[in-house]
């Protein structure tokens, strides 16, 4: 009878030991979870608008339509591509990843968007030149 | 982005920067006020070169300069002037006060009682002074540069909102960095602080003011200006009273001057956003909740501006 009782206790004891060991492992491992590091393989800034398609399209629009609306169109497309928010200004956009190379283009487009009518032609020319330089 | 061939005020800026260590925003603020024909309020603790900056600006201009030290016993007649009886001629003559100058330094303006501050209102807004039955025009240009210490409030009188509204902008002057402080000690420790020599005439100043007035502001940017000022009257729990239409005029003018100093003949939304804190903070009344939550006026204005979509 004593043997029967011992046999019946073997399984629960083994199960209890197993659960205890697992718990101990979790407790020991938990503080080290934050040490896990994710290796960043590619640290380059996202090249948002480096496609030749964008430059040629933008240049086509600006050269074909010498007006403020075309500048607004290109500016808006570029800002969207850079992920600019609704309440962002040029300063915010220039600080966005990927905008550093486009600085001259963004500044030239901003001039075109807000300058006087008398300066619009020069502003358009400056925006086209900036786009060409960016494309080279 | 330089449609302007030459940046006006460059020499003045260099002269001020050579005299004042650090505090570039103060130098910019003073020049902006000059370009806009506006008055400026400098707020900061003692010893951070508020008065010195004003004296440096006045000294760099070939202009009549007067300093008025505001005290609790100051009378309106001490500032504006008064009518005195001339016994020899048996008639009253008018003695013009120190306010009759191109550049006025109103030092510690919040130490004078309401009566004196009210006397300044007509001078600052209308650029004229009434003494007895006669009204006298003030010289052109006429700029009031006032200083104020926010820490030591014993024996001071809070500036009424109507008076604050007459100041184009408020510039907060902070402590210099350790490196700048060392430079100040090296430069002025022997007590031989350099004097100022004029680098611009009043005609130069008037010409710059004309150029600043002609800086282009697009209709969409003007709407942005108005929207920001209207937003200060919105539903922020931290604001009791927002800014009025005079703030919109000031924001428009300051943005134009900022654009000019950057060498542009047109205003960008960034110019407006950059100018907002200086133009709006002293024109608004903030709630007790802002104090309880330790939120500064600049933070509140920044949050309000961030809610307005730029063009």
Q: List the beta bridge partners of residue B248.
A: none
Q: Strands B239-241 and B285-286, how do they pair?
A: antiparallel
pLDDT reported for residue A136: 75
What percent of chain B is predicted at pLDDT more than 70? 95
Q: Of the given ranges (A120-134, B149-163, B215-229, B254-268), which has the lowest mean pLDDT? A: B149-163
Nearest to A89 among B264, B267, B270 (CB): B270
Position B81 pLDDT exceeds 70: yes
Position B134 pLDDT exceeds 80: yes
What does the DSSP assignment read for B219-251?
Answer: HHHHHHHHHHHHHTTSS-TTEEE---HHHHHHH
Q: Residue A108: enclosing H or E segment and its boundaries?
A: helix A103-114
Q: How many angstroms separate the CA of residue B21 from the nearest CA in chain A?
A: 27
Q: List the beta bridge partners of residue B134.
A: B131
Whether B310 sits inside 8 A of A89 (CB atoms) is: yes
Mean pLDDT of B251-259: 96
- Burial state string for B159-177 with b = 16 or more CB within 10 A and e = fewer than 16: beeebbbbbbbbbbbeebe
Topology classification of domain B215-311:
Helicase, Ruva Protein; domain 3 (1.10.8)
Judge whether A69 is closer than 8 Å to chain B, CB to CB.
no
DSSP B218: -
Tokens of B269: 């939304």
Interface pTM (ipTM) of the complex? 0.80
Whether A114 sits inside 8 A of B270 (CB atoms) is: no
At residue A133, what are phi and psi to the nearest 5 degrees?
-60, -40
Question: What are B98-107's pLDDT values in tens digits?
Answer: 999 999 999 9
Q: Give me the half-sphere count of Cα atoms (radius 13 Å) on the Cβ side of residue B237.
A: 6
pLDDT reported for residue A46: 47
Instruction: For chain A, list residues with pLDDT below 70.
Output: 1-55
- Domain locations in chain A as residue ranges: 2-35, 52-135
CB proximity list for B19: less than 8 A, separation 6 or greater: B52, B56, B60, B194, B196
Question: What are B141-183's pLDDT values in tens digits?
Answer: 999 999 988 777 777 888 888 889 999 999 998 888 888 888 8
CB proximity list for B135: less than 8 A, separation 6 or greater: B128, B129
Q: How confident is residue B298, by pLDDT bands cut at 50, 70 and 90?
A: very high
pLDDT reported for residue A7: 60
- Domain locations in chain B as residue ranges: 9-72+99-183+203-213, 215-311
Cα B144 to Cα B158: distance, rounded to the nearest angstrom: 18
**pTM of the prediction?**
0.82
Whether A116 sits inside 8 A of B268 (CB atoms) is: no
CB B31 within 8 A of CB B16: yes
Whether A111 sits inside 8 A of B265 (CB atoms) is: no
Judge whether A114 is closer than 8 Å to chain B, CB to CB.
yes
CB proximity list for A66: less than 8 A, separation 6 or greater: A120, A121, A124
Whether B306 sits inside 8 A of A87 (CB atoms) is: yes
Cα B67 to Cα A59: distance, rounded to the nearest angstrom: 58
Cα B113 to Cα B156: distance, rounded to the nearest angstrom: 8
Considering only residues B251 and B191, tell me which one the structure prediction assigns the higher pLDDT: B251
Q: List the beta bridge partners of residue B62.
A: none
Mean pLDDT of B184-189: 78
| Domain B9-72+99-183+203-213 top-level CATH class | alpha beta
What percent of chain B is predicted at pLDDT more than 90? 57
User: Which residue does chain B place closest to A86, by CA atoms?
Assistant: B309
**DSSP 3-state assignment of B155?**
coil
CB A109 within 8 A of CB B262: no
Cα B105 to Cα B110: distance, rounded to the nearest angstrom: 13
């Amino acid at each position: 009878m004593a043997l029967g009782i011992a046999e019946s206790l073997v399984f629960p004891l083994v199960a209890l030991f197993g659960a205890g060991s697992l718990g101990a492992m979790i407790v020991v491992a938990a503080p080290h979870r934050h040490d896990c590091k994710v290796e960043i393989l590619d640290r380059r800034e996202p090249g948002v608008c480096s496609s030749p398609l964008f430059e040629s399209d933008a240049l086509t629009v600006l050269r074909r339509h010498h007006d403020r609306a075309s500048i607004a169109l290109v500016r808006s497309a570029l800002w969207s591509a850079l992920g600019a928010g609704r309440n962002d200004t040029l300063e915010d956009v220039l600080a966005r990843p990927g905008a550093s190379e486009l600085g001259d283009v963004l500044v030239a487009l901003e001039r075109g968007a807000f300058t006087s009518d008398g300066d619009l032609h020069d502003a358009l020319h400056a925006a086209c030149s900036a786009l060409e330089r960016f494309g080279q | 982005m330089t449609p302007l061939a030459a940046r006006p005020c460059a020499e003045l800026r260099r002269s001020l920067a050579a005299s004042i260590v650090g505090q570039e925003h103060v130098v910019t603020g003073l020049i902006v006020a000059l370009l806009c024909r506006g008055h400026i309020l400098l707020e900061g603790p003692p010893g951070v070169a508020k008065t010195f900056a004003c004296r440096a600006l006045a000294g760099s201009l070939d202009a009549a300069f007067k300093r008025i030290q505001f005290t609790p016993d100051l009378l309106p007649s001490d500032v504006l002037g008064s009518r005195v009886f001339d016994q020899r001629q048996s008639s009253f003559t008018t003695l013009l006060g120190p306010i009759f100058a191109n550049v006025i330094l109103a030092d510690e303006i919040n130490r004078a009682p309401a009566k004196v501050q009210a006397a300044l209102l007509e001078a600052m807004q209308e650029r004229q002074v009434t003494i007895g039955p006669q009204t006298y025009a003030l010289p052109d240009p006429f700029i009031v540069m006032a200083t104020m210490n926010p820490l030591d409030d014993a024996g001071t009188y809070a500036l009424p909102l109507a008076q604050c509204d007459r100041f184009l902008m408020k510039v907060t002057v902070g402590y210099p960095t350790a490196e700048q402080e060392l430079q100040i000690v090296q430069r002025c420790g022997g007590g031989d602080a350099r004097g100022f020599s004029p680098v611009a005439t009043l005609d130069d100043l008037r010409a710059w003011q004309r150029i600043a007035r002609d800086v282009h502001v697009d209709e969409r940017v003007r709407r942005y200006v108005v929207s920001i000022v209207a937003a200060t009257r919105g539903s922020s729990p931290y604001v009791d009273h927002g800014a009025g239409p005079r703030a919109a005029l000031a924001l428009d003018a300051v943005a134009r001057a900022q654009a000019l100093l950057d060498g542009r003949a047109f205003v960008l939304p960034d110019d407006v956003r950059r100018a907002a804190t200086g133009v709006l903070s002293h024109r608004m009344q903030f709630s007790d909740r802002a104090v309880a939550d330790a939120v500064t006026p600049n933070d509140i204005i920044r949050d309000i501006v961030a809610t307005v979509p730029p063009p």
